[in-house]
Amino acid sequence: MCVDGRQIGRAEIGSLATSFAAWRRLLERPRAARIAVLALLAIHTGLLMYSAYVHSPTLNEPGHLVAGLSHWKFGRFELYRINPPLVRMVAALPVMAVGYKEDWSRFYEGPGAMPVFGMGKDFVAANGERTFFLTMIARWACVPLSWIGALTCYLWARDLFGRPAGVMACAIWCFEPNILAHASLITPDAHASALGVAACYTFWKWLCRPTWGQAALTGAVLGLAELAKTTLILLYPLWPLMWLIYRWPERREMTPCRWTREAGMLFARMAIGLYVLNLGYGFEQTLRPLGEFRFVSDLLTGRDAGDEPGHANTPDSPDARGTVMPNRHNRFADTIFAALPVPLPANYVRGIDTQQRDFEHHGRPAYLRGEWRDSGWWYYYLYAAAIKLPFALLLLFGVAAILAIRARRLRHGDHRTAPRLHSAPSSLDLFVLLFPPTVIFTVVSAKTGINEHFRYALPALPGVFIAACGTSRSFLPASRRICLTSCGNLCYTANLMQAVRSLQLSSLLPFLLGWAAASSFWIFPHSLSYFNESIGGPLNGPNHLLGSNVDWGQDGRYLKIASQMYPSHEIRAVALHEFDAKEVAAFLASDQPRVFVTYGCFLVFWPQFGSD
């Protein structure tokens, strides 16, 4: 047979198939897969630790660290209430062990209060250059949380598609630039993504084998996930719905006893999750009547957006002070729900309210592709994903979707000619994998009041990583669909051209994986500013997105190095945005130049530029 102008024989096809599938056959061995995963985790850990060392505190990190320290020191949870406390409490542990200077003078409390950003500035000013070290060890303490995400991606992809796919999913987590960027910080986005996918995985395992032990484990992991990110509260209503959908095809086999038993497990799981969540807050005012809360958001006060002007109090601004607004009230205060006990910690509820107020009255315009708006775009996160995720990963996910559709058609077609694929997952299994990320991404996209941070969508990414690994079944030609007998003949193939097409597909997978990894390593350690090839890479990123997608204040250490390269009298001035002069002093040499704060255009005058 002639392919691409040259003659290809059966033996040669078999040889190519064997070479393309060699790594797959190796990774199908449990020991080899474990070694590969451990190697990936070791590399991932090294990358995160280096990134944590080389980058200065981002705009939000001092506030997170101060809040975590306050939780341990005072047993209170007012500070940074818009996010649950787990990640920052983990980050605070090594800082307490080595000691730090503190300044709590800016603390105040009231409905909607957010003093934590000013307190973060005071922490940086009090500790000076040592802030770099304290932030680094706080970040290092959070690295094991990222291991949870990597291991869960491996386990879930392994269970769905086989061990090679599991290793592939683990590699995607370990090298994906958005994960590398945020897992090296003490902000909760990547760490919550890890705990969220772990909770969903344990839930899927329970669906496959409903036992009380698995239900208890799922509830505990759910509680930890809720302690990492408020967004994951969506899992509470989603899981009962997913359980009904997953069991619906078996409804004729499901007895009333089995329905009751599994419903009891589901209730127990939710109760355990709530218990763990409240335990993390020390049961702070749990079961407080709903009518006793003082809310500040339009949603929970019952006011229309036009009744009262919004306040520019944004959680992502270091100058956000929060405004006490006693004239607002509780929409439930005079209803039958006023006496309803809320089974959540009081500051967890207040945090949801404060975050909702920020979505309603952000106080800063949104930016996308050179356009500014007071309100954002419904497709902001879709567009951000298209340019912030590695382009090769997007192609990989597209190939996986095409293969899934093709496999479904084959299953419904002529089974005598369809290849026998490796235990393909059912549609319901894929539904459990992809439905929570889809809902999370949809809800985040609907909150157009704040369009600044792609990191808000990170909890939706692990499901995409795992689903993309469905392409690993394209290696089946070498081990299933093209297998050589002892006589050297092909024992299964409809024709030789089909084998060649399969080989081309199988060679595409390692190419895309290598491309994605190379694209990520190319910009490392500046992964926070990663943009893919579709827009020309990171240099063109600010033309499309701003905020923490590009610059979150993470390069203060590089500013310090640059300031040490020149005598202070040769540096004219340093212009800053959002940092204040006192805070940035820790980022400069001891004889720092004149520092001022400006908004809009940023100018840093070096010796070769301009004059006094």
Tell me what the mean pLDDT of segment 251-269 comes to.
Answer: 93
Q: Indicate whether 395 and 520 sit together in one domain.
A: yes
Q: What is the DSSP track for 144-178?
A: HHHHHHHHHHHHHHHHHH-HHHHHHHHHHHHH-HH
Residue 595 lies in a domain: yes
Residue bearing the bigger pLDDT, 546 or 324:
546
In Å, what is the CA distance from 566 to each residue of 211, 478, 569, 593, 608? Answer: 66, 60, 8, 10, 11
| Residues 460 and 178 sit within 8 Å (Cβ to Cβ) | no
Mean of pLDDT values over 53-80: 94
Residue 126 maps to a domain: no
Whether residue 145 contacts residue 197, with contact meaning beta carbons closer than 8 Å, is answered with no
Which range (248-262, 319-333, 459-473, 475-489) has the least confidence?
475-489
Ranges 90-94, 378-382, 574-578: which has the least confidence: 574-578
Q: Which two tokens stand for residue 238?
A: 């989603």
Residues 569 and 469 in one domain: no
Whether 132 has a pLDDT exceeding 70, the answer reads yes
Distances in Å between the Cα of 550 and the Cα atoms of 135, 367, 371, 387 are 20, 12, 16, 12
Instruction: Based on the fold, state whether residues 457 and 501 are members of the same structural domain.
Output: yes
Question: Does 569 lie in the same domain as 522?
Answer: no
Query: Does residue 354 lie within any of the structural domains?
Result: no
594 and 473 in a common domain = no
Q: Residue 436 corresponds to which tokens in the numbers above?
A: 């929570």
pLDDT band at 589 (very low <50, low <70, confident <90, very high): low
Q: Which of 110-124, 479-493, 571-585 is least confident?
A: 479-493
Name the pLDDT band for 425 (thresholds 50, 70, 90).
Answer: confident
Whether residue 399 is found in the same domain as residue 494 = yes
- 499 and 395 co-located in one domain: yes
Asked if residue 546 is part of any domain, the answer here is no
**pLDDT at 319 (0 to 100):** 41
Same-domain status, 442 and 580: no
The verdict on 520 and 577 lying in the same domain is no
Domain that holds residue 587: 555-605
71 occurs within a structural domain: no
Lowest mean pLDDT among 170-174, 296-300, 381-385, 424-428: 424-428
Q: How high is the pLDDT of residue 577?
A: 52
Question: Average pLDDT, stretch 184-206?
Answer: 97
Shared domain for 464 and 513, answered yes or no, is yes
Tell me which of 20 and 266 has the higher pLDDT: 266
Domain final position from 495, 529, 563? 529
The answer to whether residue 190 is domain-embedded is no
Alpha-carbon separation of residue 588 from 380, 579, 604, 611 (angstroms): 36, 13, 13, 21
| HEC profile of 541-584 | HHHCCCHHHCCCCCCHHHHHHHHHCCCHHHCCEEEECCCCHHHH
Of 399 and 85, more confident: 85
Q: Is the per-residue pLDDT at 574 higher than 50? A: yes
Instruction: Check residue 563 and give its pLDDT.
Output: 66
- Both tokens assigned to 570: 């040769």
Q: Which of 513, 529, 545 is the last residue of a domain?
A: 529
Helix (H, G, I), strand (E, B) or coil at 328: coil
Q: Is residue 573 part of a domain?
A: yes
Q: Is residue 349 part of a domain?
A: no
Residues 568 and 525 in one domain: no
Query: pLDDT digit string (tens) for 534-561?
Result: 999 999 999 999 888 988 888 877 776 6
Q: Residue 1, CB half-sphere, CA atoms under 13 Å: how many? A: 13
CA–CA gap between residue 299 and residue 318 (Å, rounded):
25
pLDDT at 343 over 90: yes
Residues 507, 402 within the same domain: yes
Domain count, the chain: 2
